[in-house]
């Protein structure tokens, strides 16, 4: 295989200029990476840049970009729920620039949620959604399902009982955690969960979900998704990796993530 080329590209979106990075490869199926939160396209600890390189080495062109108001792109950062125009502009530009016949999109956390909501209308052919964000933040504690999972693990660990006996546990924090764990699993009207579910059901875009087993966001998603399993389980497979790393940052996790993405891109 010849030497891979990484190019910086600029393209228009709603009167602003977005900056993106293309890792060139010979394939005609491309991978679009959408960054989560307010991360720039390089990702946490360069994770998305390294992922792009690994995937491109398998002959798959990869494009990453900064949405409006993030990183090198102009405009106002209005959050992931306002990123539909950004995703659509990136899809159109990537398709044309790389002469793609098929486009797969990957996102982690709220980028996965954005892709679930806006990917089909933007022209994405397949979705890879990692640790989708569907539980709005309430205070400084994780979602109830994540707290319950954490306490269940602690109760199985004799060292935690010893810490409690020795006074090594902050009782106030323990009380707040227990009260939060007793709350309902999702926000009162499940607005975001229902939007994601309804959009995936309407669009019927081939999708797969990747979860970090011990990550709080993934735990909350999996718990809430149970209520919709009958609707989606037959067509949206879920793969889980035993890690607490939200961004699959470790060596083993990052290779697993790249392998899962390459496998999905190569599916007929």
pLDDT band of 184, cuts 50, 70, 90: low
Q: Percent of the chain, pLDDT > 70? A: 76
pTM value is 0.82
Over residues 241-259, the mean pLDDT reads 96
What are the structural domain ranges in the chain?
6-135+191-266, 137-185
What pLDDT is recorded for position 2? 54
Q: What is the pLDDT of residue 229?
A: 60
pLDDT at residue 215 tops 70? yes
User: Is the confidence at residue 154, as pLDDT, over 50?
Assistant: no
Structure-token pair, residue 188: 């009162």
When mean pLDDT is compared over 81-95, 131-145, 178-192, the highest value belongs to 81-95
With a CB cutoff of 8 Å and minimum separation 6, the contacts of 31 are 52, 55, 60, 61, 62, 63, 103, 104, 105, 106, 261, 265
pLDDT at 5 over 50: yes
Question: Residue 230: pLDDT above 50?
Answer: yes
Nearest to 81 by CA among 96, 67, 98: 67
Q: According to the model, what pLDDT value does residue 191 have?
A: 84
Number of residues written out for the chain: 268
- Give the residue-averaged pLDDT of 119-135: 96
Instruction: Give the distance from CA 208 to its chain's centroid.
Output: 11
195-212 average pLDDT score? 93
Contact predicate 103/63, CB 8 Å: no
**CATH code, residues 6-135+191-266:** 3.40.50.1820
* Residue 76, C-beta contacts closer than 8 angstroms, at least 6 positions apart: 68, 69
The two beta strands, 238-241 and 207-212, are parallel
């Amino acid at each position: 295989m010849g030497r891979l080329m990484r190019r910086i590209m600029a393209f228009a979106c709603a009167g602003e200029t977005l900056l993106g990075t293309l890792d060139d490869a010979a394939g005609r199926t491309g991978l679009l990476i959408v960054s989560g939160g307010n991360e720039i396209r390089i990702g946490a600890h360069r994770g998305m840049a390294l992922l792009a390189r690994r995937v491109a080495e398998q002959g798959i062109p990869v494009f990453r970009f900064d949405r409006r108001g993030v990183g090198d792109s102009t405009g106002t950062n209005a959050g992931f729920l306002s990123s539909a125009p950004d995703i659509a502009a990136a899809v159109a530009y990537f398709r044309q620039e790389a002469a793609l016949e098929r486009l797969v999109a990957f996102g982690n956390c709220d980028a996965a949620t954005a892709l679930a909501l806006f990917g089909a209308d933007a022209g994405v052919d397949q979705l890879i959604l990692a640790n989708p964000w569907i539980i709005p933040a309430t205070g400084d504690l994780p979602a109830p399902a994540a707290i319950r999972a954490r306490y269940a693990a602690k109760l199985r660990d004799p060292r935690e009982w010893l810490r409690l006996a020795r006074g090594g546990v902050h009782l106030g924090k323990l009380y707040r955690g227990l009260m939060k764990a007793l709350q309902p699993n999702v926000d009162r009207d499940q607005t975001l969960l229902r939007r994601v579910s309804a959009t995936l059901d309407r669009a019927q875009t081939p999708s797969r979900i990747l979860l970090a087993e011990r990550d709080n966001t993934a735990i909350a998603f999996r718990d809430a998704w149970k209520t919709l399993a009958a609707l989606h389980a037959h067509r949206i497979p879920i793969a889980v990796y035993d890690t607490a790393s939200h961004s699959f940052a470790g060596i083993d996790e990052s290779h697993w993530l790249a392998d899962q993405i390459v496998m999905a891109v190569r599916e007929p």
